[in-house]
């Protein structure tokens, strides 16, 4: 028998019976969709206990430290798969066969170039513009290049959008960096892997030969996998909400990037490095921990905590190991910042405040240290995240639009403003 829950009211109003739905895993959800007809809404600012959609893409059990994409644990994907395969999996629901993988990679390669006119969009920014500002602007501007004839309800059109975005966003990110540096834009090299091609566009110049280090390229590819999707977080929900109105998908992904940029979300990797820079020395860790515990300071330990994960995120564990590989490859084990980070991690994880609140280091805590060791500047960290998360965003957008019954997202509110009142003409208003 299907489980239900009954809402009863203290004033004797008729009770309401609501169905309880159970997904494959996770907490059961109370389906409240009929509440409006009974004259009630629910109130849950920040969506702390509200499921906003059904999804078959990613499952996180924060208490158990479990993260799966389409049923495959992240540990298996990170070590046995590659980013192209994971992107295909997110998008199509199954791992590709060898032929499907080859066709997918070919399609991605086919789309890596940006329209030549897009160079002008980059050149419209001031030279010092933050790479995320440039990425948001340029990705949004793609909507001007790919709009007419686009039918969001045509699966083939959606597939082209997804391939274009996965292919072009690395070029956009690398060019945002080159523009900051005042170096010429580097065109994609389709003989290289996805991650190696990105390194080539970031670090090669016309003056010297450049060959991406395969150990670093593999590590970067794994970091991309670890950032590819994380179910209904702020940026993914932004993409879904924007896309629910049938808006141009390139503009929707730019919206997701804007949400990601915030320091409480994907901007945390940049904030972690600023925090470590500010600390400067292991001796100052206790001072920062004390500030993080003091609510009046407004300061949080960046790279710690996660809405969904109340155990250590498996992705964070893998990225930590990847960091070891990268620092070994580069001979940078003695990096002073790395030492501060490791000591901060040790002290915080031993501290009652962080233990009680289940505040563990998240992926962003480690990624910045690895990026910096690879020569990627701090201002580019969130752009790296956006690049990889594009695969998840397009998969979630596609999933939403594949459901013919999907509705435009339209949250309700608890209005606390003035009651209706009469307009007072200007000459009758008091000082």
Give contact residues for ligand ACO (rule: CB under 6 A). Answer: 233, 264-266, 268, 292, 300-307, 357, 359, 362, 364
Q: Which residues fall within 8 angstroms of residue 75, CB to CB, at 6 or more apart?
A: 314, 318
The minimum distance between CB 14 and ligand ACO, in angstroms, equals 35
For helices 381-402 and 363-373, what crossing angle results, to 10°? 130
Tell me how far apart the terminal alpha carbons of the chain are, to the nearest angstrom. 66
Question: How far is the CA of 68 from the CAs of 45, 49, 347, 364, in angstroms?
Answer: 27, 21, 30, 19
Q: Which is nearer to ligand ACO, 388 or 401 (CB)?
A: 388
The minimum distance between CB 193 and ligand ACO, in angstroms, equals 25
Which residue lies nearest ligand ACO, judged by its C-beta? 305
60, containing H or E segment: strand 58-61
Task: Tell me, yes or no, if 230 is annotated catalytic.
Answer: no
Task: Tell me, yes or no, if 334 is annotated catalytic.
Answer: no
The minimum distance between CB 326 and ligand ACO, in angstroms, equals 20
The minimum distance between CB 119 and ligand ACO, in angstroms, equals 31
Catalytic pick among 82, 229, 313, 364: 364
- In angstroms, rounded to a whole number, what is the distance separating the alpha carbons of residues 217 and 239? 29
The minimum distance between CB 305 and ligand ACO, in angstroms, equals 2
Strand 72-73 relative to strand 58-61, pairing:
unpaired
Catalytic pick among 306, 309, 324, 406: 306
Q: Which is nearer to ligand ACO, 257 or 301 (CB)?
A: 301
Q: Which is nearer to ligand ACO, 180 or 235 (CB)?
A: 235
Q: Where are the alpha helices (DSSP H) in 93-154?
A: 98-110, 118-123, 131-145
> Residue with structure tokens 């957008």?
397
Q: Which is nearer to ligand ACO, 66 or 150 (CB)?
A: 66
- In angstroms, rounded to a whole number, what is the distance separating the alpha carbons of residues 157 and 135? 23
Q: Which two tokens stand for residue 63?
A: 């208490």
- In angstroms, rounded to a whole number, what is the distance separating the alpha carbons of residues 308 and 296? 25
Please count the CA atoms within 13 angstroms of the CA of 327 that sit on its side-chain side: 20
Q: Which is nearer to ligand ACO, 243 or 368 (CB)?
A: 368
Task: Tell me, yes or no, if 306 is annotated catalytic.
Answer: yes
The minimum distance between CB 357 and ligand ACO, in angstroms, equals 4
> Residue with structure tokens 């009929």?
34
Catalytic pick among 69, 163, 265, 313: 265
Q: Which is nearer to ligand ACO, 181 or 294 (CB)?
A: 294
Q: Which two tokens stand for residue 304?
A: 């710690």
Please count the CA atoms within 13 angstroms of the CA of 412 that sit on its side-chain side: 12
Q: Report, as residue numbers or ranges, the catalytic residues.
A: 265, 306, 364
């Amino acid at each position: 028998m299907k489980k239900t829950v009954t809402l009863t009211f203290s004033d004797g109003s008729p009770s309401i019976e609501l169905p309880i739905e159970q997904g494959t895993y996770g907490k059961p959800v109370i389906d409240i969709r009929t509440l409006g007809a009974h004259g009630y809404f629910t109130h849950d600012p920040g969506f702390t206990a509200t499921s906003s959609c059904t999804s078959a893409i990613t499952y996180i059990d924060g208490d158990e430290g479990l993260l799966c994409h389409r049923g495959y644990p992240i540990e298996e994907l990170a070590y046995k798969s590659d980013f192209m395969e994971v992107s295909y999996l997110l998008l199509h629901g199954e791992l590709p066969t060898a032929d499907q993988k080859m066709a997918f990679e070919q399609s991605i390669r086919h789309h890596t170039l940006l329209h030549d006119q897009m160079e002008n969009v980059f050149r419209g920014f001031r030279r010092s513009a933050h790479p995320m500002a440039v990425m948001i602007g340029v990705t949004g501007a793609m909507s001007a290049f790919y709009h007419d004839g686009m039918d969001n309800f045509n699966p083939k059109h959606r597939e082209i959008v997804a391939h274009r975005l996965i292919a072009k966003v690395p070029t956009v990110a690398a060019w945002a960096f080159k523009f900051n540096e005042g170096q010429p834009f580097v065109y994609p090299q389709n003989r290289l892997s996805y991650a190696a091609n990105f390194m080539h566009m970031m670090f090669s110049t016309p003056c010297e030969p450049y060959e991406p280090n395969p150990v670093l390229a593999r590590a970067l590819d794994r970091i991309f996998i670890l950032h590819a999707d994380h179910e209904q977080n702020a940026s993914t929900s932004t993409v879904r909400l924007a896309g629910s109105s049938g808006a141009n998908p390139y503009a929707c992904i730019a919206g997701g990037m804007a949400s990601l940029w915030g320091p409480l979300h994907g901007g945390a990797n940049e904030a972690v490095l600023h925090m470590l820079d500010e600390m400067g020395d292991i001796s100052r860790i206790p001072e920062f921990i004390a500030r993080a515990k003091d609510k009046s300071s407004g300061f949080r330990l960046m790279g710690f905590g996660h809405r969904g994960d109340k155990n250590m995120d498996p992705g964070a564990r893998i990225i930590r190991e990847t960091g070891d590989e990268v620092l070994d490859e580069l001979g940078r084990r003695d990096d002073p910042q790395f030492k501060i980070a490791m000591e901060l991690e040790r002290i915080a994880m031993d501290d009652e405040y962080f233990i009680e609140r289940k505040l563990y280091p998240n992926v962003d805590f480690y990624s910045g240290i690895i990026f910096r060791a690879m020569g990627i500047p701090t201002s580019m960290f969130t752009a790296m995240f956006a690049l990889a998360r594009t695969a998840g965003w397009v998969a979630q957008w596609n999933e939403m639009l594949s459901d013919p019954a999907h509705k435009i997202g339209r949250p309700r509110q608890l209005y606390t403003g003035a009651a209706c009142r009469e307009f007072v003409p200007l000459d009758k208003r008091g000082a």
